[in-house]
Every structure is written in C-alpha cells, then in structure tokens.
Amino acid sequence: MKHLGRVLLVILGLLWAAGCHRQKPASTLNLFAWSEYVPQEVIDGFTRETGIHVNYESYGSNEAMLTKLARGSSRYDLIQPSEYMVEHLIRRGMLEPLDFSRLPNIKNLDPAFRDLPYDPGQKYSVPYMAGTVGIVVNAERVKNPVRGYRDVFQEKFNKRIVAIDDNREIVSWALDVLGIPVNDVTTEKLLEARPLLERWAPLVRDFATDDPKPSLVTGDCDLGIIYSGDAAKLYEASHKFQYVLPIEGVHEFIDNLCIPKGAPHKAAAEAFINYVLRPEVSKLISDKFPYTNPNAAARKLLSREQLENPASYPNARQMEIFHDIGPAAQEIGKMMTQIRSRS
C-alpha cells in the first residue's frame, strides 16, 4: 500500500508539473494594422465571444510597419501587410506559417484570392481587403474628360489635387505614364521618371497621410488620386464624385492578415483571422470600409448598391500588383523626399 501511495504521489506530481508548463489560453491579442481599417464592432464581437482583449495599434504605411518589426519588436501577434510587403517578409523569414486546421472559414474566400503570387502555396497570409488606386473627379467642377494621370497633373488644376501619401504609389504613376512596368524599378528607370514627378509634385495641394476625403468634400480640391475605399465612400455621399481607373495602368493592392515571427499569442491571432473570415463579420468590414471584399460568402450579403459602387467593384480590366523590389524601395524614398522638399 505504501508503494502504491508513492506511485500515486509521483503521478499527481507529474500531472501538476504538466499543468504548470501548459500554456494558458491567451487573454490578449496585439493587433498592428492600418489606421481605421478594423471596425470596432468586429473587435468588440471577437472579445465578447472569446474573452480575448484586442490591443489595436495602427500604422500609416507598410514601410512604417516594417521598421518596427525590423527593430526586433516581438510584441505583435497579428499584422496587416500589403501584397508586396508579404513577399518581402516571407523572404526575410519574418512570418509564422499559418495553421489552416484552425482556419476552417478560409473556405469562404473567393478562389481568385487564393494562392496568390506573393505567397505561393498560401502558407503565410489571408487576404483581408483588396482595392485599387484611382482618380476621383468632382464632375460638377471638372467638365473636361479625365481618363488618366496626364489629365490630372495639369497647370489648370494647380493646388486643386489631393493625393495619397505613398511614395511607391506616386512613382508608379509616372512609370505607368512612361510605359515602364511598375515593378521594373532601377536607378536608371527612376532617373527617367524623376522629371515628370518634379513637375507633378508642386501641383498637389495635399499629400494625405490619413483621410483624403475632406479636401474633396469641402471643395478645396476637385481631383484626387486615392484608395478605392475612400472613393467608394465619396460616391455613396454623392454621385458627383466619379471614380476613374487610370488609362495608363491600374494598381490592385491586397491587404492581408499575417502573424509575425515569434508572435506571443499565435493561437489568438489565428482565432481572430478565422473570426474575420465569417461572412457576417466580413460584411461588417465592407459596410464600414467599402473596398473589394475577397470573401465570396460575405459578398452575397452585400446590398445591390454596395456591389454596384464603381469604386468598390470596378469593371474588370487588366491590373497589376506590386512585388518586392528590395533596395530600390529605399531609392524611391530618398528621391521622393528630395522632390517633395522642393515643391
């Protein structure tokens, strides 16, 4: 009996030790995402259901996000990089592979948004929202046809233009006009684009770091080169704000949910991704931020007006996505800093 008692004590001790070393369920999710891009209703619903509190820290560009990650920050559980940044992070070994057994709602994605070139085999990313960068025209103020970048950047529209504050995007507009592929970024190609950018930059009233809509709503600007989600909201407010896909070329961006290497709460991050992939939750995101929803099941819940918004779901045509261009990204930043400091 004494021997049996000792055996039981050993077993109980082992069970207690195992319990001490077992990871406790995460009570926190540290989300690092684009500013004003995840509805509070979605965050609140996730917390109510799981008990996991979400800390939402925002950034204004992919490059700003990368800078924080590159400094060795390991406090983030979930990030929201665009397509070319996903490619860059994969190459640098900065993302955790996803456990798709925890993501059954991945089935709701439109097949067109599965296994994309920037993440072959779709090991590291799940599309969150997609969209385009295009031209918004106040048709009550601008009477001549606007079909592309050349029509926007004219002296008669001096200081009547608002543009997104994204150096790579801005350079891609000049490359498109010159007939240079937007991913063929070399020192020589940037030198070709520079004179055009030096003429354009002084014409812009505001490079919007956050929300470009107010400049167009107040009438301070008549034209904008902005993200499609913002254009869609303008169109919802008034059909005078027409959305034009530039004739020279169109960039489609795809923002994704990814887990950075060493994330302290990986299971919580995957729970959030799976939650967002629910049709009714994804619809809430479209209601608040009317970009192109890659969730086919969620699209079935959208209204006719939402699906017919020309900015959210533009007529199909050839579009390009950005790819990782390596050190050339720093060249772009340096050149645009110089140009904009003189405008």
Secondary-structure class of domain 22-130+254-307 per CATH: alpha beta
Pairing of strands 28-34, 161-164: unpaired
Q: Give SS3 for 30.
A: strand
Residue 270: the pLDDT is 98
Tell me the C-alpha distance between 165 and 269, whole Å: 29
Q: Which helix (H) or strand (E) holds 100?
A: none
Mean pLDDT by 10 residues, the chain (343 residues): 43 40 64 94 98 95 91 86 98 97 98 96 98 97 96 98 96 98 97 98 93 96 97 98 96 97 96 98 98 98 97 88 95 96 82
Q: From residue 261, how far is each of 77, 167, 214 by CA, in Å?
A: 9, 27, 38
Tell me the C-alpha distance between 216 and 199, whole Å: 22
Residue 286 is encoded by which pair of tokens? 């479209």
Residue 18: the pLDDT is 41
In angstroms, the first-to-last Cα distance of the chain is 90
Residue 17: the pLDDT is 42
Q: Give SS3 for 228.
A: helix
Q: Give SS3 for 116.
A: coil
Residue 232 is encoded by which pair of tokens? 């869609």
Residue ranges, CATH 3.40.190.10, the chain: 22-130+254-307, 131-252+318-342
Q: At 212, phi and psi to the nearest 5?
A: -85, -10
DSSP 158: T
Residue 73: the pLDDT is 63
Tell me the C-alpha distance between 338 and 325, whole Å: 20
Tell me the C-alpha distance between 286 and 94, whole Å: 29
Nearest to 130 by CA among 250, 224, 31, 225: 250
* Residue 190 contacts residue 331 (beta carbons within 8 Å): yes
Q: At 142, phi and psi to the nearest 5?
A: -110, 110
CATH code given to domain 131-252+318-342: 3.40.190.10
* Residue 146 contacts residue 248 (beta carbons within 8 Å): no
* Residue 160 contacts residue 221 (beta carbons within 8 Å): yes
On the CB side of 188, CA atoms within 13 Å amount to 2
Q: At 216, phi and psi to the nearest 5?
A: -85, -35
Please state the pTM of the whole predicted model.
0.89
Residue type, 257: L
Residue 134 is encoded by which pair of tokens? 């295009």
Residue 70: the pLDDT is 87
Contacts of 334 (CB under 8 A, 6+ apart): none
